[in-house]
Amino acid sequence: MTDLIITNTIKTKDDHVIGVMTLNNPKALNAQNLDMVRAMRERLLTWRDEEKVAAVVIHGAGERAFCAGGDIKSLTQATGVDDVRAFFEQEYGLMAEMYDYPKPLLAWGHGVVMGGGLGLLSACSHKVVTNETLMAMPEVSIGLFPDAGGSWFLNRMMGKVGLFLGLTGGRFDGVDALYLGLGDAFLAHDDFEKVLDACVRADWQGGDHHGKLSQILSAFHQNPVRPSQIIADFHTINQLMNQGSLKEVDSALKNYQGDSAFISSAIDSYIKGSDTTKAITWRIYHHIKPKSVRAMFEIEKIVATQCVLQGDFKEGVRALLIDKDKNPKWRYTLADMPDGWIDGFFG
């Protein structure tokens, strides 16, 4: 068991327990490596089968992040397809089990919640966001694609907001998350211990533990004092995305003349991102329609492995995290991308 995952249980007044799991990698914004994923998976499976465990709370160490994603730098050092596939099998396997988890899972989504971190949060039954929550699926900047369940939850957002966020890597906040289905309750971060205490004092003897946790969160929920920027820009986002092809969307984004700082910032990251990622994201959004989240994870595993082995991923990580020159040399643009190039990521 790695010390980057800390677990403990808190006994309730009625002799149940609350499992508490801390992602303990604050220097890396609680990004997960393979050992952390395995440790989480092992502990969650153990708690699943322990009758006394009423609910599980997952949060990040420190004040800056729930989880900034996966340890993508380590993936660039993988020596072959088996090593790459092993990481995604474990990461996606964990999230698939979380989607199906029979007990309430509470994700405390404070601070940075991005990439695989957003995948973790979205897999939980109860999702808390705060005034300091900062979310994104920023894979276009590293040549991956919006994975870790992103192919599932982005495709289910209102209108074509999910497509916009997947293509651009646009950053949004906790207020936006409430409207997008990525947040169930808006709480003050300082109330974390109070929520735990309320869980300790609650009566868990009844069968509806999910309903009990929802009641507890409702008691602490605060109505946001500012509106959602995504809702304010909803019509414009849909106009930008409602084009006949990816090349037409590309043109619409690059010719945007509006005054939304949110849209403009998202377009900036889009322009700098991998066109291969954009084409994969477009293909998944429009043409991949699995019947279950587990089926989606199987597709994501194939695509993610190919992104690491043959796509823009290693170059994106080099430019952003290793050499830090922020000047990636992407393999293709939309204009010169060969026919059949994207097909190879799905086979």
Mean pLDDT value across the chain: 96
> Could you tell me the domains of the chain?
5-345 (3.90.226.10)
Contact call for residues 197 and 191 (beta carbons, < 8 A): no
Q: Is the pLDDT of residue 80 over 90?
A: no
- Please give the average per-residue pLDDT across 272-301, as a whole number: 96
Q: Is the pLDDT of residue 81 over 90?
A: no
Confidence band (pLDDT; 50, 70, 90) for 113? very high
Q: Is the pLDDT of residue 326 over 90?
A: yes
Q: Residue 16 — φ and ψ, nearest 5°?
A: -90, 180
Q: Is the pLDDT of residue 277 over 70?
A: yes
Confidence band (pLDDT; 50, 70, 90) for 83? confident
Q: What is the pLDDT of residue 24?
A: 97
Q: What is the pLDDT of residue 328?
A: 96
Give the catalytic positions in this structure: 70, 116, 139, 147
Q: Is the pLDDT of residue 195 over 80?
A: yes
- Please give the average per-residue pLDDT across 164-173, as a whole number: 98
Q: Is the pLDDT of residue 79 over 90?
A: no
Q: What is the pLDDT of residue 71?
A: 83
Q: What is the pLDDT of residue 240?
A: 98
Q: Is the pLDDT of residue 153 over 90?
A: yes
Confidence band (pLDDT; 50, 70, 90) for 1? low
Q: Is the pLDDT of residue 299 over 80?
A: yes
Q: Is the pLDDT of residue 172 over 90?
A: yes
Q: Is the pLDDT of residue 158 over 80?
A: yes
What burial class does residue 255 get, using C-beta atoms within 10 Å of its C-beta: 0-12 exposed, 13-18 middle, 19+ buried? exposed
Q: Is the pLDDT of residue 77 over 80?
A: no
Percent of the chain whose pLDDT exceeds 90: 92
- Please give the average per-residue pLDDT across 305-325, as a whole number: 94
